[in-house]
């Protein structure tokens, strides 16, 4: 917590925090893209399930 208060006191610290947030956002999009892509491929390889007939 002390680290963040020290970083917020200087302009360079604020810029480095913004840079870290942008890097996290960028890698989050990349990781999310690959997760969605693998999920789509998994859905395409699985056979379609027939709905259960309830009586």
The ranges assigned to domains in the chain are 2-45
Element (H, E) at 26: helix 11-45
Question: What are the per-10-residue average pLDDT scores of the chain (55 residues)?
Answer: 75 88 88 85 69 67
pLDDT at 38: 84
How far is 47 from 53, CA to CA, in rounded Å? 18
Tell me the whole-structure pTM to 2 decimals: 0.49
Contacts of 13 (CB under 8 A, 6+ apart): 6, 7
Contacts of 14 (CB under 8 A, 6+ apart): 7, 8
Residues in the chain: 55
């Amino acid at each position: 917590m002390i680290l963040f208060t020290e970083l917020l006191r200087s302009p360079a610290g604020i810029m480095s925090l913004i840079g870290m947030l942008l890097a996290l956002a960028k890698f989050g999009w990349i990781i999310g893209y690959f997760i969605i892509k693998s999920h789509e491929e998994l859905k395409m390889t699985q056979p379609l399930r027939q709905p259960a007939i309830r009586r």
